[in-house]
Copies of this chain bind each other. A is one copy, B any other.
Protein backbone atom coordinates (compact mmCIF):
# COMPACT_ATOMS: atom_id res chain seq x y z
CA UNK A 1 0.00 0.00 0.00
CA UNK A 2 1.31 3.46 -0.93
CA UNK A 3 2.49 5.72 1.88
CA UNK A 4 0.33 8.85 1.73
CA UNK A 5 1.51 10.47 4.94
CA UNK A 6 4.38 10.19 7.40
CA UNK A 7 4.21 10.68 11.15
CA UNK A 8 7.30 11.09 13.28
CA UNK A 9 8.11 10.21 16.82
CA UNK A 10 9.99 13.17 18.33
CA UNK A 11 12.07 12.46 21.47
CA UNK A 12 15.12 10.44 20.49
CA UNK A 13 13.92 10.08 16.89
CA UNK A 14 14.13 13.75 15.82
CA UNK A 15 15.67 15.54 18.80
CA UNK A 16 18.63 14.67 21.01
CA UNK A 17 17.06 14.81 24.47
CA UNK A 18 20.18 13.48 26.19
CA UNK A 19 22.55 16.29 25.21
CA UNK A 20 19.97 18.95 26.05
CA UNK A 21 18.99 17.50 29.39
CA UNK A 22 22.60 16.82 30.38
CA UNK A 23 23.42 20.46 29.62
CA UNK A 24 20.47 21.53 31.76
CA UNK A 25 21.71 19.36 34.68
CA UNK A 26 25.18 20.83 34.25
CA UNK A 27 23.67 24.32 34.62
CA UNK A 28 21.37 23.30 37.47
CA UNK A 29 23.90 22.90 40.24
CA UNK A 30 22.84 19.29 40.85
CA UNK A 31 26.02 17.32 41.57
CA UNK A 32 26.79 14.09 39.72
CA UNK A 33 27.37 13.02 36.13
CA UNK A 34 24.96 15.11 33.99
CA UNK A 35 24.62 12.41 31.32
CA UNK A 36 23.90 9.77 33.94
CA UNK A 37 21.29 12.07 35.49
CA UNK A 38 19.69 12.60 32.07
CA UNK A 39 19.55 8.84 31.50
CA UNK A 40 18.14 8.21 34.96
CA UNK A 41 15.42 10.84 34.42
CA UNK A 42 14.53 9.46 31.00
CA UNK A 43 14.41 5.90 32.41
CA UNK A 44 11.36 6.97 34.42
CA UNK A 45 9.50 8.00 31.28
CA UNK A 46 7.94 4.78 30.06
CA UNK A 47 6.97 3.52 33.54
CA UNK A 48 5.02 6.71 34.33
CA UNK A 49 3.25 6.61 30.93
CA UNK A 50 2.26 3.03 31.65
CA UNK A 51 0.80 4.16 34.98
CA UNK A 52 -1.31 6.76 33.13
CA UNK A 53 -2.42 4.32 30.44
CA UNK A 54 -3.32 1.75 33.11
CA UNK A 55 -5.43 4.28 34.98
CA UNK A 56 -3.16 4.05 38.05
CA UNK A 57 -2.35 7.74 37.65
CA UNK A 58 -4.51 10.60 36.37
CA UNK A 59 -3.70 12.23 33.03
CA UNK A 60 -0.76 14.60 33.10
CA UNK A 61 1.02 16.37 30.29
CA UNK A 62 4.78 16.09 29.83
CA UNK A 63 5.53 19.12 31.99
CA UNK A 64 3.57 17.55 34.84
CA UNK A 65 5.02 14.06 34.32
CA UNK A 66 8.57 15.37 33.95
CA UNK A 67 8.22 17.27 37.21
CA UNK A 68 6.87 14.19 38.98
CA UNK A 69 9.69 11.94 37.73
CA UNK A 70 12.29 14.62 38.53
CA UNK A 71 10.95 14.94 42.07
CA UNK A 72 11.15 11.13 42.42
CA UNK A 73 14.70 11.01 41.07
CA UNK A 74 16.00 13.84 43.23
CA UNK A 75 14.16 12.53 46.28
CA UNK A 76 15.69 9.08 45.83
CA UNK A 77 19.13 10.63 45.70
CA UNK A 78 18.55 13.03 48.58
CA UNK A 79 19.10 16.08 46.35
CA UNK A 80 17.63 19.33 47.61
CA UNK A 81 16.76 21.66 44.71
CA UNK A 82 14.51 24.73 44.83
CA UNK A 83 11.28 24.68 42.86
CA UNK A 84 12.35 27.29 40.28
CA UNK A 85 15.40 25.18 39.38
CA UNK A 86 13.25 22.09 39.03
CA UNK A 87 10.98 24.01 36.66
CA UNK A 88 14.01 25.13 34.68
CA UNK A 89 14.96 21.48 34.19
CA UNK A 90 11.41 20.63 33.11
CA UNK A 91 11.50 23.54 30.65
CA UNK A 92 14.71 22.18 29.11
CA UNK A 93 12.55 19.52 27.39
CA UNK A 94 11.08 22.40 25.33
CA UNK A 95 14.45 23.40 23.86
CA UNK A 96 16.15 20.26 22.58
CA UNK A 97 18.19 20.33 19.40
CA UNK A 98 17.36 18.13 16.43
CA UNK A 99 19.78 15.52 15.08
CA UNK A 100 21.84 16.98 12.20
CA UNK A 101 19.79 15.42 9.36
CA UNK A 102 16.38 16.37 10.69
CA UNK A 103 15.68 19.91 9.54
CA UNK A 104 16.58 19.35 5.87
CA UNK A 105 15.37 15.74 5.94
CA UNK A 106 11.89 16.77 7.04
CA UNK A 107 11.78 19.37 4.25
CA UNK A 108 12.74 16.73 1.69
CA UNK A 109 10.10 14.30 2.95
CA UNK A 110 7.45 17.03 3.12
CA UNK A 111 7.84 17.76 -0.58
CA UNK A 112 6.43 14.35 -1.42
CA UNK A 113 4.01 13.65 1.37
CA UNK A 114 2.07 15.05 4.28
CA UNK A 115 4.32 15.04 7.36
CA UNK A 116 3.25 15.34 10.98
CA UNK A 117 4.73 14.88 14.41
CA UNK A 118 3.03 12.06 16.35
CA UNK A 119 4.38 12.36 19.84
CA UNK A 120 3.49 11.65 23.43
CA UNK A 121 4.56 15.22 24.16
CA UNK A 122 1.77 17.76 24.54
CA UNK A 123 1.02 20.20 21.73
CA UNK A 124 2.56 23.27 23.39
CA UNK A 125 5.78 21.32 23.97
CA UNK A 126 5.87 20.18 20.34
CA UNK A 127 5.30 23.77 19.18
CA UNK A 128 8.29 24.92 21.25
CA UNK A 129 10.52 22.11 19.96
CA UNK A 130 9.57 22.74 16.34
CA UNK A 131 10.23 26.46 16.72
CA UNK A 132 13.51 25.87 18.58
CA UNK A 133 14.84 23.54 15.87
CA UNK A 134 13.16 25.37 12.96
CA UNK A 135 11.47 22.11 12.04
CA UNK A 136 8.59 22.33 9.59
CA UNK A 137 5.73 19.85 9.84
CA UNK A 138 2.37 20.07 8.12
CA UNK A 139 0.72 19.35 11.44
CA UNK A 140 1.44 18.42 15.05
CA UNK A 141 -0.45 15.50 16.55
CA UNK A 142 -0.07 14.86 20.23
CA UNK A 143 -1.14 11.88 22.31
CA UNK A 144 -3.07 14.43 24.39
CA UNK A 145 -5.64 14.50 21.58
CA UNK A 146 -6.31 10.80 22.21
CA UNK A 147 -5.98 11.24 25.99
CA UNK A 148 -3.82 8.12 26.17
CA UNK A 149 -0.13 7.59 25.46
CA UNK A 150 1.71 5.58 22.80
CA UNK A 151 1.92 2.66 22.33
CA UNK A 152 -1.89 2.60 22.86
CA UNK A 153 -3.52 2.07 19.44
CA UNK A 154 -5.79 5.09 19.87
CA UNK A 155 -2.86 7.47 19.42
CA UNK A 156 -1.88 6.07 16.01
CA UNK A 157 -5.54 5.82 15.01
CA UNK A 158 -6.04 9.46 15.94
CA UNK A 159 -3.16 10.36 13.65
CA UNK A 160 -4.72 8.54 10.70
CA UNK A 161 -8.17 9.96 11.39
CA UNK A 162 -6.98 13.57 11.66
CA UNK A 163 -4.87 13.29 8.52
CA UNK A 164 -7.76 11.69 6.64
CA UNK A 165 -5.85 8.60 5.57
CA UNK A 166 -6.29 4.90 6.08
CA UNK A 167 -3.95 3.54 8.81
CA UNK A 168 -2.34 1.33 6.15
CA UNK A 169 -1.44 4.47 4.16
CA UNK A 170 0.29 6.05 7.15
CA UNK A 171 3.90 5.32 8.15
CA UNK A 172 5.39 5.97 11.58
CA UNK A 173 9.06 6.90 11.61
CA UNK A 174 10.71 6.15 14.95
CA UNK A 175 13.95 5.00 16.56
CA UNK A 176 12.15 2.79 19.07
CA UNK A 177 10.92 -0.71 18.23
CA UNK A 178 8.21 -0.54 20.96
CA UNK A 179 6.71 2.50 19.23
CA UNK A 180 6.94 0.94 15.76
CA UNK A 181 5.32 -2.22 17.11
CA UNK A 182 2.48 -0.10 18.53
CA UNK A 183 2.02 1.53 15.14
CA UNK A 184 1.91 -1.82 13.36
CA UNK A 185 -0.62 -3.12 15.88
CA UNK A 186 -2.83 -0.18 14.84
CA UNK A 187 -2.40 -1.04 11.16
CA UNK A 188 0.24 1.54 10.24
CA UNK A 189 3.39 0.99 8.23
CA UNK A 190 6.65 1.53 10.08
CA UNK A 191 10.13 2.88 9.37
CA UNK A 192 12.95 2.27 11.83
CA UNK A 193 15.57 5.02 11.96
CA UNK A 194 18.79 4.25 13.74
CA UNK A 195 19.87 6.83 16.31
CA UNK A 196 23.03 5.17 17.64
CA UNK A 197 23.84 8.10 19.92
CA UNK A 198 20.47 8.44 21.64
CA UNK A 199 22.04 7.15 24.89
CA UNK A 200 25.48 8.49 24.10
CA UNK A 201 28.50 6.63 22.71
CA UNK A 202 27.60 3.47 24.63
CA UNK A 203 24.03 3.22 23.32
CA UNK A 204 22.74 -0.32 22.95
CA UNK A 205 22.40 -1.44 19.33
CA UNK A 206 18.81 -1.50 18.09
CA UNK A 207 17.05 -2.87 15.07
CA UNK A 208 13.50 -3.69 14.06
CA UNK A 209 13.29 -6.58 11.62
CA UNK A 210 9.53 -6.09 11.24
CA UNK A 211 9.77 -2.50 9.97
CA UNK A 212 8.93 -1.83 6.31
CA UNK A 213 11.95 0.46 6.04
CA UNK A 214 15.14 0.61 8.08
CA UNK A 215 17.33 3.67 7.56
CA UNK A 216 20.24 5.63 9.01
CA UNK A 217 18.73 9.09 8.61
CA UNK A 218 15.83 11.04 7.09
CA UNK A 219 17.63 11.65 3.79
CA UNK A 220 17.97 7.92 3.31
CA UNK A 221 14.26 7.55 4.03
CA UNK A 222 13.43 10.27 1.47
CA UNK A 223 15.49 8.40 -1.12
CA UNK A 224 13.78 5.09 -0.32
CA UNK A 225 10.31 6.58 -0.55
CA UNK A 226 10.98 8.55 -3.74
CA UNK A 227 8.57 7.51 -6.47
Contacts and interface: CB of A to CB of B under 8 A. Distances in A.
Contact of A139 (B127, B163, B164): B127
Nearest to A144: B162
A163 B127 contact: yes
Contacts of A125: 164
A163 B124 contact: yes
A139 B135 CA distance: 12
A131 interface: yes
Contacts of A22: none
Contacts of A123: 139, 162-164
Interface string A143-168: 01100000000000000001111000
Interface residues of A, number: 21
Interface of A: 114, 116, 122-127, 130-131, 136, 138-140, 142, 144-145, 162-165
B138 A131 contact: yes
A142 B127 CA distance: 16
A138 B130 contact: yes
A164 B114 contact: no
